[in-house]
Structure 1
Amino acid sequence: MDSIFHEKQEGSLCAQHCLNNLLQGEYFTPVDLSSIAHQLDEEERMRMAEGGMASEEYRTFLQVREQSIYERLWQVISNALRVWGLEIILFNSREYQSLMINPINEKAFICNYKEHWFTIRKLGQQWFNLNSLLTGPELISDTYLALFLAQLQQEGYSIFVIRGNLPECEAEQILGFMRVQQQQRPRLIGEEAQMTLAQTEMGVGVEDEVVDEDEELRRALALSRQDIDVEDEEADLRRAIQLSMQGKGFPSSFGKTTSKEALQEHKSNQEAP
């Protein structure tokens, strides 16, 4: 898992994270994507201005340009990937669905819902959810991939298939020779932060856990010492009974004191001149 490049969410840079997680490297920065967006705006503005800056089409373009910035992010992503010879195809389009291609035979998908974009990519022989909102890559089995895509569609996501040769990466080389297992699924970054906050507010932390373990150890040792004292007392009682049976007598205080006290008194009498 360590070889997989995974950018976590920072601000509203999900388009950047989506692209970089797809390409498995720091290929794009906010400045790069802003430059692409500006270039697209200028190209469209020039096309609209061909009919005259006073035309209805041009005025409409100026009014909706700011309103459609998030809806046009797919154009920015599409143009960014075109540099690498990659193509975006709408997954649920009639043209693509007519091909009847099994999703596991693809290389990658880009998913979008409202303002959020994230990548699902195949590395080696396994699929991974590289959503920047997760604390790390999430392994997706081949049998679950189609169900996962269907679930995303039901939730309103638009899914795009990525076609073309993705750039080489370390994870692809390593996972091409081995398969990984994931013991614990990554959490959403928000959930992780909430858990940390809750633990802090409750005063639960690593130090507290160590204190609890030390307290439990002390209790265990105390119980152990009690058991030893009980065992010693029982042993003394057995020895006292044995001495009594041998006819050596036992002090008159027997029965009024504990067996340990009686034995000590008996020893003192034996040692007295």
Structure 2
Amino acid sequence: MSEPGVELVYHEKQRLELCAIHALNNIFQDKLFSKETADEICKRLAPDARINPHRSVLGTGNYDVNVIMAALQNYGFAAVWWDKRRSLEKLVLNKIHGFILNIPSSVMLGFVSLPIRRKHWIAVREVYGVYYNLDSKLKSPVRLGGENEIRKFLKEHMSEEPCEMLLVVQKDVEEDGTWWNVAV
């Protein structure tokens, strides 16, 4: 049985290598992006490439950060790369729409975990005053809690190697830098 309120949270589950698309849709809490829209972005980013460097050669997804950034720009948002040397305490959480993390992930063959690690995009964001882990590999969203819990969650993931984080902010917030509190 899922937690009360979690059924109101939009959550796409993993399909093929489409974690970047799932992360974007989970950040926006709506199905705005598809494999077709991501493939169009790939073509726009590398119009003359025979083998597109922004996705899997097999056509199963595995989109790179450039596709995520371009997709966000289409909706007036920006991705701010997070420098791990900075303190998470300086984040102005109410200016940040969500977080997209690129984390190491085990490769599964059925129920067997293979000794191979790949990169996987996950989304984390606040919905109705509560932060949720919206990883598409999860059966349902996982409630993280409030500001203290999200900072703890992010700190734990950022301490893992290799893990990268993008802050998803509105374009004007990126431009004026209000996602960052220099006074703290």
Structure 1 length normalisation: TM-score? 0.47
Query: Is 2:43 the counterpart of 1:38?
Result: yes
Q: Check 1:97–1:85 CA distance in 2 against 1; reply closer, same or farther (3 A cut).
A: farther
Query: Is 2:97 the counterpart of 1:107?
Result: yes
Corresponding residue SS for 1:115? strand
Q: Check 1:105–1:78 CA distance in 2 against 1; reply closer, same or farther (3 A cut).
A: closer
One of 137, 160, 169 as aligned partner of 1:133 = 137
Check conservation: 2:20, 2:63, Cα contact below 8 A.
no
Query: Is 2:150 the counterpart of 1:159?
Result: no
Structure with more of its chain in helix, by fraction: 1
Q: Distance in 2 between matches of 1:90 and 1:158?
A: 8
Amino acid at match of 2:127: L
Q: Distance in 2 between matches of 1:99 and 1:136?
A: 28
Q: Distance in 2 between matches of 1:111 and 1:91?
A: 10
Q: Distance in 2 between matches of 1:76 and 1:112?
A: 13
One of 6, 23, 38 as aligned partner of 2:11 = 6
Structure with more of its chain in strand, by fraction: 2
Following superposition, the deviation at residue 72 of structure 1 comes to 6.7
Question: Who is 2:65 aligned against?
Answer: 74
**Which runs of 4 or more aligned residues in structure 1 lie more than 4 Å from their structure 2 counterparts after TM superposition?**
68-72, 96-99, 102-105
Check conservation: 2:69, 2:79, Cα contact below 8 A.
yes
Corresponding residue SS for 1:121? strand
The count of corresponding residues between Structure 1 and Structure 2 is 145
One of 121, 128, 133 as aligned partner of 2:125 = 121
Following superposition, the deviation at residue 163 of structure 1 comes to 0.7
Following superposition, the deviation at residue 115 of structure 1 comes to 3.0
Q: Distance in 1 between matches of 2:164 and 2:26?
A: 18
Q: Check 1:152–1:107 CA distance in 2 against 1; reply closer, same or farther (3 A cut).
A: same
Instruction: Please list every run of 5 or more consecutive structure 1 residues that lacks an aligned counterpart in the other structure.
Output: 46-61, 166-273
Amino acid at match of 1:24: Q
Amino acid at match of 1:144: E
Following superposition, the deviation at residue 3 of structure 1 comes to 1.6
Question: Who is 1:228 aligned against?
Answer: none
Check conservation: 2:98, 2:168, Cα contact below 8 A.
yes
Instruction: Please list every run of 5 or more consecutive structure 2 residues that lacks an aligned counterpart in the other structure.
Output: 1-5, 57-61, 104-117, 172-184
Question: Who is 2:152 aligned against?
Answer: 147
One of 75, 81, 101 as aligned partner of 1:84 = 75
Alpha-carbon RMSD: 2.8
Following superposition, the deviation at residue 122 of structure 1 comes to 0.7
Q: Check 1:122–1:159 CA distance in 2 against 1; reply closer, same or farther (3 A cut).
A: same
Following superposition, the deviation at residue 162 of structure 1 comes to 0.8
Amino acid at match of 1:107: H
Residue by residue over 1:227-268, the C-alpha shift from the partner in whole angstroms, topping out at 9 and shown as x without a partner, is xxxxxxxxxxxxxxxxxxxxxxxxxxxxxxxxxxxxxxxxxx
Following superposition, the deviation at residue 93 of structure 1 comes to 6.1
Larger Rg: 1
Check conservation: 2:78, 2:168, Cα contact below 8 A.
yes
Check conservation: 2:134, 2:142, Cα contact below 8 A.
yes
Check conservation: 1:108, 1:161, Cα contact below 8 A.
yes
Following superposition, the deviation at residue 145 of structure 1 comes to 1.3
